[in-house]
Structure 1
Amino acid sequence: MFNEFWGLGFALLNFTALLVMYRLFGRTGLFAWVAISTILANIQVTKTIEIIGLTATLGNSLYASTFLATDILNEKYGRKDAQKAVWLGFSSLVIMMIAMQFALQFQPAESDFAQGALATIFGLIPRIALGSMIAYIASQLLDVHIFTLLKKLFPKDSQFWIRNNGSTMISQLLDTLIFTVIAFYGTFPFNVWLQIFISTYILKFIVAALDTPFGYLAKKITPQEEKQVDKCLNSSPMQRQPELRK
């Protein structure tokens, strides 16, 4: 049960850190979170674990948090900012992949101890990154589109859970299918691949449900930078002019 409890704690930590980034840096913090999480999740995915009795890849909760970030952006700032975050995450992944492939080509010194470990992890990155990039773009853009559609159908604040869960759970199914086919199909026996696909989606499904309360918390948060802007506007001469007239 260690992995189950540790995984739950890690998911809650990810969502809490996301809200802290948003509270401190506003939408910029969410953009940064998408970029950081996309890179880290694609490193973590090289590790397989046993959880809830199934074989799964690591990085699911961290990657799933990017969907919460884009949903918050879509909810509070609109579709364009959500799409901007998607492309920012995609660009970060491409840069990481290219940079690390160049890094592996350098001849290590005799005293070096990291080349083997880096080659083990990042040597897998091209196939994993290809699967992730295709899955990421397809699923994230689908998520933004579905969220926008659901926002029109279910516009109330109390219906945010429908928008959040509906868009994420559908898009995560597409993401899981595309990624596991490109990254792992043929690498593992079919029964292991199928188990990874099922367990990965189940974990993403659970994480999508867990992130809903954090989405509601984000809706109530006013980032510090926005508070400062409001304060400046309220203290500007234009704002004080009616009071002076009195």
Structure 2
Amino acid sequence: MTARPAPLFAPLRHRDLLLAVLAMGVVVLGSNILVMYPINDWLTWGAFSYPVAFLVSNLVNRRFGPQAARKVAWVGFALAVLMSVWLASPRIAAGSCSAFIAAQLLDIGVFDRLRHGHWWRAPLVASACSATLDTAIFWSVSFAGEPLPWVSWALGDLAVKLGIAVCLLAPFRALLWKMAPLPGAR
């Protein structure tokens, strides 16, 4: 059995890091605010925005590698949590803090492991696994001890997150085409 060659990654420039961190921070902060607004008995507005965090992570991972994606996750995490305590609520921030970093690190690991397969497999599987973990942690931490409607919100949000993960494959692929390929990269 032959080993696969190590993938080549573009160097992560300060501008790229700043853009990725800002995108991650805006998505997480926005989602933390939107999750406080239910649409109905089984869904909140946050379910529609949060999957974009996985898109950001997956694009950074694909182009710059898992180490760069982890850097973006940690810095974006710190920014979003600080802002969430102030603009959302401490309880939402605590749930988001726990869920976000666990889900992002899982996403990065799963994506990196599957990066050599079909272009759609790594982002889809990584996002599905991470959305499930994120949902379980976020809702159980943020709403523990609250009346049970949060369980239906969690299930509704997860269903929407998984659906959006599928829909985000098109922007993922389109953005990959816009990224200049590296010489010898697979």
One fold, TM greater than 0.5?
A: yes
Amino acid at match of 1:133: C
Equivalent residue of 2:145, what SS? coil
What is the 5 A alignment of 1:109-120? none
1:12 match: none
1:172 match: 131
CA distance in 2, matches of 1:68, 1:34: 9
Q: How far did residue 94 of structure 1 move?
A: 2.9
TM normalised by structure 2 equals 0.83
Amino acid at match of 1:143: D
1:33 match: 23
Structure with higher Rg: it is 1
Q: How far did residue 26 of structure 1 move?
A: 4.8
Amino acid at match of 1:58: W
More helix by share: 1
Q: Which runs of 5+ in 1 are unaligned?
A: 1-24, 101-120, 224-246
Q: Is the 8 A contact 2:29 2:81 kept in 1?
A: no
Equivalent residue of 2:42, what SS? strand
Q: How far did residue 27 of structure 1 move?
A: 5.3
Amino acid at match of 2:22: A
Q: Is the 8 A contact 2:81 2:96 kept in 1?
A: no
Q: Is the 8 A contact 1:38 1:92 kept in 2?
A: no
Number of residue pairs matched by the alignment: 167
CA distance in 2, matches of 1:81, 1:164: 16
What RMSD, in angstroms, separates the aligned Cα atoms of the two structures?
Answer: 2.0
Q: Which runs of 5+ in 2 are unaligned?
A: 1-14, 181-186
Q: Is the 8 A contact 1:38 1:63 kept in 2?
A: yes
Equivalent residue of 2:97, what SS? helix
1:160 match: 119
* Residue number among 101, 108, 116 corresponding to 1:144 in the alignment: 108
Structure 1 residues 196 and 96, CA gap change in structure 2 (3 angstroms): same
CA distance in 1, matches of 2:169, 2:90: 33
TM normalised by structure 1 equals 0.63
